Structure 1
């Protein structure tokens, strides 16, 4: 446990932290209620989960959409017999995942440039784009069970590493029985009001270690609890910055623009100081300058900061698009 006399007053507005946490929880409840009542204005139909994409619409329909939902790409052609076997299976599974995935179908005869950019050597070929990053999935026809295992892994990675929870789909129109649909429709366990309140009290007291542990206690039993996820991200951020020397941290970042760790630390300070766009912009610029594991470390920290601010914030949406352009 962190000492209870540790104070971060003046560094971050804890009332704003709590308000952001409550606002996100309300937004999640509103989306769930809209889904129960037939989807609401933001919902999509199952037919919207399978789209045809060409080179002109690739950035809009794939890159931008990949910041909110993993996009599976099916490279196919009319003359390809294995494609005709695979495509219906992909379409069925994507619909069964109830908005956790989007399927983009690309005709290679009409879109040679996209085929070359992805390095497609033969079809059918299936890729995914998650937060602007292209991932090869498999080539050639495959069985439904094998494909579903691959998609399960994709959904898990997209949520855990990128914070993508997918689209809202009209529940009355989704076919039942699919594993993905069951996962999307799962009801969170609970209630956890006492544990969540204890975490907020720890935050207010400056006991960030205690808040981290309280949120982790909730998530160990209910990994999908959105309020605990948001609270944990905020508590971990506050725990990180409490040991930083602000002046030294900003000096290091200014002197070492290519140093990923220096920029990450400065971005943390930017965020707790209320400079959200500065924090996001700093890390997106660092993503452009780095590669390999170092780049991945910066990207993951940026996604953690997205979680702190909240997926519904327009600054997060804009930064996700900028991150996609930096990565792709």
Structure 2
């Protein structure tokens, strides 16, 4: 089988296709994929799967258990190969028996068929199958190399698998080295490990949060809490004293106190000092996570303080 070049220009915009899918409750596609980097595509999540391709490529694989059992076998192989690339791709498995509207909207002529999306649009020509497992591996290796050559470094976040009650969720292997370092009390090594992950994939929000919190731990190691608070009380405009107490508040779980301390400081200082405090505050936002309600409020308060 000839391999299609990985190309972004001239692709057809698929952003409106989800409107073609009726709003009724469809059965889950397929038999249920079991991979951190694969998802069964339904009418309800179709748009979000398309949006995921703005982070890194999404591989849609269309199959039909009733019409072609071999197409379902290929879909399983695609999930296997995609998972081997640990986030470079996300497999979107489309069972056309369960979600025919999606296949109709995308004008799928046959199964099995595979299509790679990037930025919500096709990045390759449709690839009909069946494609043997080893040929799939060669194809995805080539696509990954082309992504790297084009400077496309984004990765998908692993999707949470079901965890039985009482069991600990598995540790994502990408973060294992950093978490092991934290467990051993080697904060400097943890910072270095998280920094590697962020450098490799700036869009990795979990790595960015880990790096930010590891830096908080590094800055507060060996600090006497009472002395730090006394110094901040005596020097309300001292940048180092105030940011240190904000870090200590973070470690103590007083997240909003930390945010408010720095936002109040931003209102009192100017110039380079203001930029320094703002940068520190953004680091604390990253440590908590941009979707956290406290961070959303903090960002609003920061905007008010700055403008």
Instruction: Give the TM-score of the pair, scaled to structure 2.
Output: 0.47
Say which structure is richer in helix. Answer: 1
Which structure is richer in relative contact order (CA contacts within 8 A, separation 6 or more)? 1
Instruction: Give the TM-score of the pair, scaled to structure 1.
Output: 0.44
If you compute each CA radius of gyration, which structure gives the higher value, 1 or 2? 2
